[in-house]
Structure 1
Amino acid sequence: MADALRWGILGAANFAAGHMGPAIHAAAGNKLVALATSNASKAAPFEAFCPGLDVFLDYDAMLEWDAIDAVYIPLPNHMHVEWTKKALAAGKHVLTEKPIAMVSSEIDELIALRDQTGLLVAEAFMIVHHPQWQRVREIIASGEIGRVAHVDTAFSYDNREDTDNIRNRPETGGGGIRDIGVYTYSSVRFATGAEPVALSARLKRENGVDTWAQVVGEMEGPGGRFTYSAMTSMRLPPRQEVVFQGDLGSITVSAPFNAGVFGEAQVAVRDLDGTIRTERWPTENQYVRQVENFARSVREGAPYPCPLEFSKGTQAMIDMVFANATEIAGPG
C-alpha cells in the first residue's frame, strides 16, 4: 500500500480489538502494522484480523519504532495525556480515545505540543465523522426546524456486574460522565455550535465514580439560546437518543452514538403538520471514516473534523458539570 499511513495501537483494549483495530485495518490509505501490549495473550484478537502484526511488549519500544507514523491510544482515561505526550515526543501523529484529558487545562498543553511539533493530535470522537451527525448540523443550519428551543439527550447502559471495568474504577478516571457524557454534551455542541452558559447537575456515585447524572441548563450559539437536558447512566438498560426541538419542527436522532451497533443510524425530521421525513445510513462505519479523515489531514493537510480546540470545549463542559453537581442518594 503505497504511502499508507502506518499505525501502531498502544494498548490491547477490547474496544480497540472490536472496533478501532479493524477500522484502521480496513480504512483506505491506512495500514495497521503494530500493537503494544503488556500481555502477549491479548494480541490474539488483533492478529486474527491482521496477520503479520508486529507485537511489542513494551509501549516505549513501539513508539521508538521507525516503521509507524501514527499511534492510536485506547488506554484507561488517566493515562491518555501522559502517553499522548510520549507519542508526540517520539515524532508520531496521535489519535487518543475520549476523553483525551481529565481536565480542560491539560488540552492546552496538547495544543501547544501539536503546534510546536507540527504533528496531528486529536481525540477519537467518532460521531462527527458520521454523515448522520453532519446531516443533523446541516438541517439545523438550514432553518428547517426553525429556532432550536430545547434539546434532550440520553445515553445509558448497565455494567454494574463488571466490577473490574475501568469505567467502574475511580483510579482509572472512570464514571459515566467521562465515558458517555462526552457524547451527550459534545454532540449538541457539534450540531448547534452552542456552548453552555448555565448548567446544574445531580449525580449518584458508587465506589467514587458517577453512575447516573442528570444535567439541565442553557446553551447559546449562532441560533440563539435554548434549554438543554442530558441523562447518562451506567446502571440503566441501554438507551441512546437525541431530540432537537425547534419552533417549526423537531429532529430525532436514533442510534446517535453507536450507529450500527445499537441500531441503524437515522434522522427523523417532523414538521408542524406531523409529517415525518426519515433519513437512514444503514452501512456507514464511523470508525473507518474517522481513520480515513485522520490520514487525509496528515497526508493532504485537510482540516480535521474534530480538532483539539473542539475537544477542549467539551472537556470544559464536563468540568462545568462536575463543578456544579450535587450528589444525591439512591441506586444509579
Structure 2
Amino acid sequence: MDVMNWGILGAANFARQHMGPAIHAARGARLAALATSSAEKAQHFINFAPDLKVHDSYDALLADPEIEAVYIPLPNTLHVEWTAKALAAGKHVLCEKPIAMQAEEIDTLIAARDASGKFATEAYMIVHHPQWQLARQWLDEGQIGELRHADVVFSFNNSDPENIRNKPETGGGSIPDIGVYAYSSVRYSARAEPRDLRAIIHRENAVDTFTQVTGAMENAKGAFTYSAITSTRLHPRQEVTFQGSDGLIRLSCPFNPNVFDQAEVTLIRAGKPDCVQRFPGVNHYVLQVESFVRHIREGAPYPWTLEDARGTQAMIDLVRASEI
C-alpha cells in the first residue's frame, strides 16, 4: 500500500500532542507537511517528523502537490471554511469535531465532498476504539435486554479566559467541545436518535460551561430515557452507562483512554459473572488514521461519515433549542 502523505493546517497543541504523532505512527501514513508561520511551534513537530516540510500559510500547504490528505485542528468556527477549501484543492480531509457550528453547514460540505470525489469526515476517533465497537455489539445482541436508559458525564475544569474553549468567537463551550462525545457516543452505540430533549444551560461570557440534557432517544427497538452532563467547570470525570431490563454496560474511560485512565468496558448481568474488557495502550487516534487510509486505498468501510456528523450537529442544535 502506497504511503499517504499528510499535512496539518496549524500547529495546535492537540495536533502536536496527539494527532501529529498518530499520523506519523499510523501504518500507510506519513506526516509530511505543516502549515505554520511559527518556527518554534514547527520545531515540536520536526522533533518526531524530521523530514517535515513547513509551509508559512494554509493556502501554501493546500497547493503542495505531494500532500494527499490534510488534518484540520483549527478553531471550531473555521472548520467549514477550510474543509471546503481543502476539498476544492483536491485533498482528502479529516477535520476536528465539531466540523460545523450548525447542521445545515454540513450539507454544503457533503455537496463539496461529492463534487470533489475526495473523502472528508469528522475526526470522531472513539468509534475506532474497540471498547466502543464492543459496547455497540453487546447492545445489538441484546446482552442487557431491553435498553431503557443511557447516561453520560463528561467534564473537566478549564477557566482560562484565553483558551479557545472559553471564547464565543471561536465556537467555545462544553456543548461543541465535549457535547459531541456525550451525544454522538449514544447515537453511535445504540443506533439511536433524539426524540424529546430538555436542556439546562449555564453560561459565562456567552459560552456554556455546564449543560444538562434529559429526555428520550429512540432506535429501531424502541425508546429509552437519556441523560447527559457536560461541563468545563467541574472536576474531571467521564463515564457512560447503558442500563437495560437485564443488565448494564459501563464504560469508565470512554473518551480519553491512556490520558484520563485505561479503557475499560464492563457487562453486568444478574446471576452471571461480570465481563470486563480492558484495552491497555490502544491508541484510537492511530486507529482512526489507519482506517482513513484503508478506506481511501482499499475501499474499506469507514465508521463515521459527514452524514453521521450531521446527525450529531442536529442533536446539538436541538439541545440549544430545548433550553428551559
Which runs of structure 2 are paired with 1:48-127 in the superposition (5 Å)?
48-127=47-126
Query: In the alignment, which residue of structure 2 is the partner of 1:261?
Result: 259
Query: In the alignment, which residue of structure 1 is the partner of 2:39?
Result: 40
Output the amino acid matched with 1:124: A
Measured in 2, the distance between the counterparts of 1:154 and 1:77 equals 22
Output the amino acid matched with 1:102: M
24-33 or 273-282: which moved more?
273-282
Tell me which of 170, 173, 177 is aligned to 1:175: 173
Measured in 2, the distance between the counterparts of 1:125 and 1:24 equals 15
Deviations along 1:191-212, whole A, 9 cap, x unmatched? 0101001001001000110000
Q: Is 2:211 the partner of 1:247?
A: no
The structural deviation recorded for 1:235 is 0.3
Output the amino acid matched with 1:55: V
Output the amino acid matched with 2:251: V
Indicate if the aligned counterparts of 1:7 and 1:32 stay in contact, CA closer than 8 A.
yes
Measured in 1, the distance between the counterparts of 2:143 and 2:2 equals 43
Query: In the alignment, which residue of structure 1 is the partner of 2:314?
Result: 316
Measured in 1, the distance between the counterparts of 2:319 and 2:284 equals 27
SS in 1 for 2:235: strand
Measured in 1, the distance between the counterparts of 2:204 and 2:222 equals 37
Measured in 1, the distance between the counterparts of 2:57 and 2:248 equals 51
Measured in 2, the distance between the counterparts of 1:298 and 1:6 equals 13
Measured in 2, the distance between the counterparts of 1:25 and 1:323 equals 41
Structure 1 segments unaligned to the other structure (5+ residues): 327-332
Deviations along 1:210-261, whole A, 9 cap, x unmatched? 0000000100002210000000000001000000000010001011000111
Measured in 1, the distance between the counterparts of 2:37 and 2:260 equals 31
Structure-1-length-normalised TM-score: 0.96
Query: In the alignment, which residue of structure 1 is the partner of 2:193?
Result: 195
Tell me which of 204, 229, 236 is aligned to 1:206: 204
SS in 1 for 2:54: strand
Deviations along 1:53-93, whole A, 9 cap, x unmatched? 11111110010000100000000000000000110010000
Measured in 1, the distance between the counterparts of 2:255 and 2:127 equals 10
Measured in 2, the distance between the counterparts of 1:303 and 1:135 equals 17
Output the amino acid matched with 2:255: F
The structural deviation recorded for 1:274 is 6.7
Measured in 1, the distance between the counterparts of 2:216 and 2:37 equals 44
Measured in 1, the distance between the counterparts of 2:272 and 2:137 equals 21
Query: In the alignment, which residue of structure 2 is the partner of 1:330?
Result: none
Indicate if the aligned counterparts of 1:181 and 1:232 stay in contact, CA closer than 8 A.
yes
Output the amino acid matched with 2:27: A
Query: In the alignment, which residue of structure 1 is the partner of 2:15?
Result: 16
The structural deviation recorded for 1:38 is 3.4
Query: In the alignment, which residue of structure 2 is the partner of 1:283?
Result: 281
Structure-2-length-normalised TM-score: 0.99
Indicate if the aligned counterparts of 1:40 and 1:57 stay in contact, CA closer than 8 A.
no
Indicate if the aligned counterparts of 1:192 and 1:223 stay in contact, CA closer than 8 A.
no
Paired residues, what number?
Answer: 324
Measured in 2, the distance between the counterparts of 1:175 and 1:274 equals 42
Measured in 1, the distance between the counterparts of 2:61 and 2:268 equals 51
Q: Is 2:237 the partner of 1:226?
A: no
Deviations along 1:13-46, whole A, 9 cap, x unmatched? 0000000000000000001100001323211211
SS in 2 for 1:49: coil
Name the % identity. 59
Measured in 2, the distance between the counterparts of 1:96 and 1:103 equals 15
Indicate if the aligned counterparts of 1:251 and 1:269 stay in contact, CA closer than 8 A.
yes
Output the amino acid matched with 1:52: D
In the TM superposition, structure 1's runs of 4+ consecutive aligned residues that sit over 4 Å from their partners are: none
Measured in 1, the distance between the counterparts of 2:246 and 2:115 equals 47
The structural deviation recorded for 1:277 is 1.4
Measured in 2, the distance between the counterparts of 1:97 and 1:46 equals 18
